[in-house]
Structure 1
Amino acid sequence: MSYGPSEIKLIRVYASVVQNQGFAAAQEKLNLSVSAISTYMSQLETLVGVTLCHRGRGGFRLTEKGRLYYAEVQALLDRLDSFESYTSALRDDLGGSLNVGLIDSIVSDPALPLAAVIREFISLHPRVRLSMHVANPYELQVAVTERRMDLAIGTFPTSMNGLVFQELYNEQHWLYCGDQHALYGVEQPSIYEIERQPLVGRGFWHKAEHAHHESSSEVGSAENMEARLLLILSGCFIGYLPEHLAGLWQHRSHLRALAPESFSYQAKFALCIRRDRQRDRHVMAFRDFLSAQFKGNTTTGRG
């Protein structure tokens, strides 16, 4: 059986469907309709001669042969990407792909001029297919570990083995309430009053957030900063937000920082890569552009 560009395309569709756990979830990544994805999957199963996955009302799940095939697909795509990078290196021109993971709500942060980094990277390496994905810190580390992402930028309260973290900068967080909250009009609320307010948290807590609110009996939850901001603006909760995200709302008098001398912390932002990929040309190129913005910072790692 020979594999040309059309067969490789089918394989890449399959890999994306597995990584996104279903046809519908892979639509945005592939920029294809569900019906088109279904057609490609049927063509691949005909080519391979086995059923790779079950889909329907029971949801998406791989067959046993589908799991075995996916393991080989991952190895094949890694080799193809490495080969493309190698041939690009022969002509001193980066090609292939670079998948970058990001934590949410960093576009408004002036301390991280990511748009400028992307512009410089693409202008020098126009043949690289650059993809960006937003996820929480745990998901980012898993994706980098599993090679689904080449690198990630975010704050990582805990670190996984086998990864290297290059410190970038500190993001300032304050504790806020919305203009509909009972404490908004209180000139100097006491620490006791603040600590007794329902707090909106995240799936991953910073230790400073825990320290001040262990006694709270009611806690809301939000998995991204925009959702956290919305809950705070409702007036039902208080919560920590990055200064850059809260700034516009504070300027419009919709948010107020509560006892900033007592309730604040800095989230350490870092670049995360696999230890064994530090010499990868794509990773090195992007890291160099990013590092130029944060000279003098250090690299830490585990495992």
Structure 2
Amino acid sequence: MTVKLMSKQSIIPKAVTEYDLRLLRIFRTVVENGGFAAAEAELGVTRSTISVHMSNLESRMKLKLCSRGRGGFALTEAGQAVYHACIELFDSLNDFSMFVNNLGEELIGELVILCADQLDHTMQQKLAQVVAYIHARQPQLHLILDGEALHHIEKSLLQDKAHVGLLPSYQQVEGLHYRTLFSEPIYLCCSAQHPYFKLSDAQISAEMLSKTASIHPGVDIDPDGREQLKRLNLSAKAYQFDTRKTLILSGCYIGYLPLSYIQQELEAGQMKIIHGDAASYPFNLSMVYKHSARETAKVELLMAAFNEVFGLDMPS
């Protein structure tokens, strides 16, 4: 039997250059935006320029990567393979960059903190101290402090796209570590426009609560909270505290909010608490980070900052 050996030749006929990487980044952006037109805004160039770059890439690789025309944008089989290889390539480059960065004492690049809830005045002051702590020690870091949906923060942490998340401790995702920053009670309340505002707690029965339009917090909260919610007629949903407060202030719903978010309204006679501690449950805010994160030095810096500001014990 005669076996014919195929020569192993790279589809890019020479070592990968910076220009090749640039073209591959453009290709990846086009794919992830679903076509040339949609990629214009992100790339900051015209469709015709993108087309030239894509033609150059196909010429250099000697492959047909995509079809574009009246039928729309579509990857070829080779294009799909190259796209997945692109993801691995740029992930590897990013891993290498982060590895080298962690070897030095001076940290560089982004430091990402994501918050699931809007920050009240107290939390703003605390986080400002965290930022000051970081800036005093590593001023060259590019700090990103932003709000995101809870599930997006968990995903970003697991994918090493964020270093720390500030989340309510309603669940614990495998692969993430949770450290409680503070805990406060969350109370059932109504506004001055609601019929219950003029009633005493004794006049508001469990049967009345079970028929009253109420707000679900939008997440699977802790067991104590779930027991409280079972008593209510959940006919609206709002995760963010500010949007939940808006629903309550309408006078159409009752719902749960932390004391810190309603103190001003309580003092102004615009809201009241229903059944006090008997209808409350704890709200715990945690600092969350990934086990074995890629950029451990940055996570450790954040842990030290939160320990200093919130008086936490550093984990062993």
TM-score (norm 1): 0.77
1:190 partner letter: I
- The answer to whether 1:173 aligns with 2:181 is no
Q: Which of 174, 187, 190 is the equivalent residue of 2:204?
A: 190
What pairs up with 1:1-303 in 2 under 5 angstroms?
1-3=16-18, 7=22, 11=25, 33-34=41-42, 36=44, 45=54, 48-49=57-58, 64-65=80-81, 66-86=83-103, 89=104, 92-110=105-123, 113-188=126-201, 189-192=203-206, 193-206=208-221, 207-277=223-293, 280-297=296-313
How many residues of Structure 1 are paired with residues of Structure 2 in the alignment?
A: 286
1:288 partner letter: A
Q: List, as ranges, runs of 4+ consecutive aligned residues in structure 1 with deviation greater than 6 Å.
A: 37-44, 58-63
Distance 1:96 1:38, change over 3 A: farther
The structure that is helix-richer by fraction is 2
Deviations along 1:235-284, one digit per CA (max 9) or x if unpaired, are 11111112222222323322211111211122222221111129711111
Distance in 1 between residues matched to 2:255 and 2:74, nearest whole Å: 37
Distance in 2 between residues matched to 1:104 and 1:12, nearest whole Å: 35
Deviation at 1:64, TM superposition (A): 3.1
Percentage identity across paired residues of the two chains: 15
1:180 partner letter: Q
Distance in 2 between residues matched to 1:99 and 1:232, nearest whole Å: 33
Question: Bigger shift: 159-168 or 66-75?
Answer: 66-75
- The residue that corresponds to 2:61 in the other structure is none
Distance 1:100 1:181, change over 3 A: same
1:74 partner letter: D
Distance in 2 between residues matched to 1:274 and 1:132, nearest whole Å: 17
Deviations along 1:69-103, one digit per CA (max 9) or x if unpaired, are 224323322322332343xx2xx322121111211
Distance in 2 between residues matched to 1:180 and 1:117, nearest whole Å: 40
Deviation at 1:211, TM superposition (A): 0.9
Distance 1:275 1:41, change over 3 A: farther
Deviation at 1:22, TM superposition (A): 8.1
Distance in 2 between residues matched to 1:120 and 1:153, nearest whole Å: 17
SS of the residue corresponding to residue 147 of structure 1 reads coil
Deviation at 1:205, TM superposition (A): 3.2
TM-score (norm 2): 0.74
Q: Contact 1:202–1:221 (CA<8 Å) still a contact in 2? A: yes
SS of the residue corresponding to residue 44 of structure 2 reads helix
Q: Contact 2:189–2:274 (CA<8 Å) still a contact in 1? A: yes
SS of the residue corresponding to residue 132 of structure 1 reads strand
Deviations along 1:121-164, one digit per CA (max 9) or x if unpaired, are 12321111111232233332221111121221221311121222
SS of the residue corresponding to residue 276 of structure 1 reads coil
Q: RMSD of the TM alignment (CA)? A: 4.0
Distance in 2 between residues matched to 1:230 and 1:260, nearest whole Å: 21
2:183 partner letter: N
Question: Bigger shift: 34-43 or 181-190?
Answer: 34-43
Deviation at 1:297, TM superposition (A): 4.5
Distance 1:133 1:252, change over 3 A: same
Deviation at 1:14, TM superposition (A): 5.6
Question: Bigger shift: 44-53 or 190-199?
Answer: 44-53
Distance in 2 between residues matched to 1:60 and 1:181, nearest whole Å: 55
Distance in 1 between residues matched to 2:131 and 2:112, nearest whole Å: 12
Distance in 1 between residues matched to 2:139 and 2:124, nearest whole Å: 25
1:174 partner letter: Y
SS of the residue corresponding to residue 69 of structure 1 reads helix
Deviation at 1:111, TM superposition (A): 9.0
